[in-house]
Structure 1
Amino acid sequence: MFFSTKAFALIVASLTVATQASPTPEAAAEAQIGPTHIGDATFYTPGLGSCGRTNNANELVAAVASPVFDTFPGHTANPNNNPICGKTAVVTFGGKSVTVTIVDRCPGCGSGGIDLSPAAFQKLAPLSQGRLSGTKWTVQ
């Protein structure tokens, strides 16, 4: 068979596009829900948070590490307008998980830390444990 230079270039381009690697399922999921953070989970008594909402200790809410809160895509100088506000995060420790709503910023948390309401913390461990090292959490 004989192909013109143009036809040959079109065939090569089509094959190149068709054989390019697709993202892994993990990469595709991360692009939709954000990266998994690993750090310490602690607990605090919620009140008026950085998102401009007032919450209490019985709600399943959290304050996320400042580096995450402050660099969340679309954030502005006004923390009340941060797009992370109101999003949920799945927090996992020791084979247990809890889904929390992000309502605050945690300036004392390490870069991968999360501060949970007492109600949320107790879904993972007793309050007497105080700090859960190696906790994983992902913004949904």
Structure 2
Amino acid sequence: MFVGTYYTPGLGACGVTNGEADYIVAVSRTLYDTYPGATPNPNLNPICGKKLRATYNGRSVVVAVEDKCWDCAGTYDLDFTIAAMEQLVDNPVAVGRIYGVEWSWI
């Protein structure tokens, strides 16, 4: 189980500009940079656009990878947009971090 946080997106590592209402996620820089096929150009990383399902306390959300999280301590921690994190917890701004997130590629 892993940690989930939220962030305000913009121009992500995948080269796409996203907003708070988008269902996207940033994966840890470790996972992003070591994903099979990763190149020195982060915009060309094959992890970009890959979808995953994250689950927390019986609630789940499907998100696409569009960014890398510089502050994620664990290799499999995730940084969600507010809209995506709202699918997992009520009032994510007040909650801040959620411990025990499970996720898998879809």
Q: Which TM class, normalised by the smaller chain length? A: over 0.9
Cα root mean square deviation, aligned:
0.9
Query: Which residue matches 2:42?
Result: 79
TM-fit CA distance, 1:136: 1.1
1:48-87 paired onto structure 2 within 5 Å: 48-87=11-50
Q: Which runs of 5+ in 1 are unaligned?
A: 1-37
If asked which structure has higher relative contact order (CA below 8 Å, sep 6+), I would say 2
- Secondary structure at the aligned position of 1:47 is classed as coil
Confirm whether residue 117 of structure 1 aligns to residue 78 of structure 2.
no
Query: Which residue matches 1:94?
Result: 57
Q: Separation in 1 of the partners of 2:67 and 2:105?
A: 13
**Cα displacement string for residues 50-77 of structure 1 (whole angstroms, at most 9, x for unaligned residues):** 0000000001001001111111111101
- Whichever residue aligns with residue 124 of structure 1, its letter is L
Q: Separation in 2 of the partners of 1:124 and 1:68?
A: 22
- Secondary structure at the aligned position of 1:120 is classed as helix
Q: Separation in 2 of the partners of 1:108 and 1:121?
A: 17
TM-score by length of 2: 0.93
Query: Which residue matches 1:129?
Result: 95
Give the total of aligned pairs: 103
**Cα displacement string for residues 23-73 of structure 1 (whole angstroms, at most 9, x for unaligned residues):** xxxxxxxxxxxxxxx311000011000000000000100100111111111
- Bigger CA radius of gyration: 1
TM-score by length of 1: 0.71
